[in-house]
Amino acid sequence: MDLIKENWNLIKETLRTEYDLSDISYNTWVKPLNFHSEKDDIVTIMIPSDQAHALKYISSKYKSYFQVTISEMMDHTYDISFILEKDAENETSSSKAVYNINYINANLNSKYRFDTFVVGGNNKFAHSASLAVAESPGEAYNPLYLYGGAGLGKTHLMHSIGHFILNQSPDMKVLYVTSEQFTNEVIESIRSGNAAKMNRLREKYRTVDVLLIDDVQFIIGKESTQEEFFHTFNVLHSAGKQIILSSDKPPKEMETLEERFRSRFEWGLIADIQPPDYETRYAILKKNAENYNKEIKEDVFQYIATNIKSNIRELEGAYNKVIAFARLNKLDITLENVQEALKDIISSNATRQVTPQLIIDIVAEHFGISPEDIISRKRNSEFVQPRQICMYLCRQLTEESLQSIGKALGKKDHTTVIHGIDKITEDIKTNAELKNRIEIIRKKINSD
Ligand SMILES: Nc1ncnc2c1ncn2[C@@H]1O[C@H](COP(=O)(O)OP(=O)(O)OP(=O)(O)O)[C@@H](O)[C@H]1O
């Protein structure tokens, strides 16, 4: 431990060189981080309290960089966790600190909790099964397999389970991953040919108390990834650890699913989520509007709930569009204005065309950024690639001209669009992770 502490600045400098960080990234994110402690091969790094807002970003972006750099420099495998300076100072209340570390490592979205989930006829069973699992992990149903169409609340329920468990038992190790993350980590470990890296990956997944894997259908059929998943599943299940999976279909309808997976998925409980009925759609809109400080008339809720039927993501998208439209044009939210604001969405909803807007929304959600960031002029790397992926997918999945793709992406010139498309076309030839990511986004776009 002393060695890590003594060499802390050197570790950060080495990381900077190894990962070729720009001055701005290094000075903003990495330089202010301090060593906190090392225990049981977990190195805890302190994030200054004034960067609390960036805690999630730092821990997701830099965790693996620190893990690799420290492990290589110290010739020993370490895991990494982050803690806010102010929590570290209060460490006498150490359960809070443990909670913090476990909470950060769990990879949960704080918006998705049971108390923000509207229960209706379409999701009642899945909701109560999720709550039962959250109350008694490893005991009630194992695995819990949630399935349903796109944007119906599977991810929301999975995160809710994770929050609930951590609130009840702060020392539990919970881990939520998308199958994309899981696949990319496996690809990366195999590609590196580094046995220590593969061991770290196994340790990461096989030592948790609760593993949540979202959209498991994207793992099935990918040979090495599904093999790794199979063994992870077996190790966890036989140790009585809770596994929660989500998918777009029940196991029996997944054509390429091998019998060994099918039987395992059916060991526990399978719960479906159906498209929301009118009352649920209406209740979700009402819940969204709780934080809005102006009056929204009943006929507006009724109009949106009547016309956007299949998918809650789209329902929320429509609501957000209405709010943005009203703010931008300084208008009241009247039925007439809402009809104007939603005219593209509602007329295309009937035929469910793939539009640039749909692509932008799904890519934005996938990267955890806003559609506004995608169409903005910001050149930060976390926006540039998603923007180029949108250009690439618009070209592939729609009939739009380069000009109109540029227009949908915030009035970009057609040469910028060509550059974006070429960049992605070239990069996927050599970057297996990017290829996998685009394949998953493409399936999400076409999933209804
Ligand atoms: N019952 C609900 N109450 C409140 N919000 C909901 C509900 N169901 C879904 N949502 C919201 O709808 C959006 C889409 O839900 P979510 O991401 O969980 O869908 P999903 O089924 O995981 O979709 P996908 O398979 O495409 O990933 C989220 O913002 C979520 O909070």
Residues 6+ apart with CB under 8 A from 434: 424, 427, 428
55-74 and 94-106 helices cross at what angle (nearest 10)?
90
pLDDT at 124: 94
pLDDT class of 92 with cuts at 50, 70, 90: very low
pLDDT at 448: 53
**Does the Cβ of 158 fall within 6 Å of ligand 1?**
no
Lowest mean pLDDT among 58-62, 95-99, 443-447: 95-99
How far is the centre of ligand 1, averaged over its atoms, from the C-alpha of 362 (Å)? 12
Residue at 52: amino acid letter:
A
Task: Give the whole-angstrom CA distance, residue 244 versus residue 213.
Answer: 6
Residues 6+ apart with CB under 8 A from 150: 248, 311, 313, 444, 447, 448
Nearest-5° Cα angle at 216, 210 to 218: 145
**Does the Cβ of 154 fall within 6 Å of ligand 1?**
yes
pLDDT class of 329 with cuts at 50, 70, 90: confident
Task: Give the whole-angstrom CA distance, residue 296 versus residue 333.
Answer: 6
When pLDDT is averaged across residues 180-205 and rounded to a whole number, the result is 91
How far is the centre of ligand 1, averaged over its atoms, from the C-alpha of 93 (Å)? 35
**Does the Cβ of 312 fall within 6 Å of ligand 1?**
yes
pLDDT at 337: 87
Nearest CA to ligand 1 atom 23: 151
Task: Give the residue ranges of the annotated binding site for ATP.
Answer: 151, 153-155
Query: Which contiguous run of DSSP H or E holds residue 211?
Result: strand 210-214
How far is the centre of ligand 1, averaged over its atoms, from the C-alpha of 178 (Å)? 14
What's the whole-number average pLDDT of the chain? 88
Rounded alpha-carbon distances, angstroms, from residue 285 to 34, 61, 320, 446? 44, 33, 10, 25
**Cβ–Cβ under 8 Å, residues 44 and 83:** yes
The answer to whether residue 99 scores a pLDDT higher than 90 is no
**Cβ–Cβ under 8 Å, residues 196 and 77:** yes
Other beta carbons within 10 Å of 439: 15
Burial environment of residue 302 by CB neighbours within 10 A (0 to 12, 13 to 18, 19 or more):
middle
* Distance from the Cα of residue 163 to its chain's centroid: 15
* Distance from the Cα of residue 190 to its chain's centroid: 23
Nearest-5° Cα angle at 81, 76 to 84: 140
pLDDT at 1: 53
The answer to whether residue 101 scores a pLDDT higher than 90 is no
Residue at 42: amino acid letter:
I
**Cβ–Cβ under 8 Å, residues 157 and 271:** no
Task: Give the whole-angstrom CA distance, residue 234 versus residue 237.
Answer: 5
**Does the Cβ of 284 fall within 6 Å of ligand 1?**
yes
When pLDDT is averaged across residues 227-248 and rounded to a whole number, the result is 96
How far is the centre of ligand 1, averaged over its atoms, from the C-alpha of 152 (Å)? 5
When pLDDT is averaged across residues 326-348 and rounded to a whole number, the result is 83
Burial environment of residue 255 by CB neighbours within 10 A (0 to 12, 13 to 18, 19 or more):
exposed
Task: Give the whole-angstrom CA distance, residue 347 versus residue 360.
Answer: 18
Atom of ligand 1 nearest to the CA of 118: 3
Single out the residue of 150, 152, 178, 213 nearest to residue 446, CA to CA.
150
pLDDT at 358: 85
**Does the Cβ of 156 fall within 6 Å of ligand 1?**
yes
Residue at 228: amino acid letter:
E
Residues 223-235: tens digit of each pLDDT: 889 999 999 999 9
Task: Give the whole-angstrom CA distance, residue 368 versus residue 358.
Answer: 15
Sheet hosting strand 34-39, strand order edge to edge: 34-39, 42-47, 79-84
**Cβ–Cβ under 8 Å, residues 153 and 123:** yes
Atom of ligand 1 nearest to the CA of 215: 25
DSSP 329-357: TT----HHHHHHHTHHHHHHHTTT---HH
pTM (whole model) above 0.80:
no
When pLDDT is averaged across residues 382-403 and rounded to a whole number, the result is 93
pLDDT at 95: 52
Residues 63-83: tens digit of each pLDDT: 889 998 998 888 888 888 888
How far is the centre of ligand 1, averaged over its atoms, from the C-alpha of 139 (Å)? 26
**Does the Cβ of 126 fall within 6 Å of ligand 1?**
no
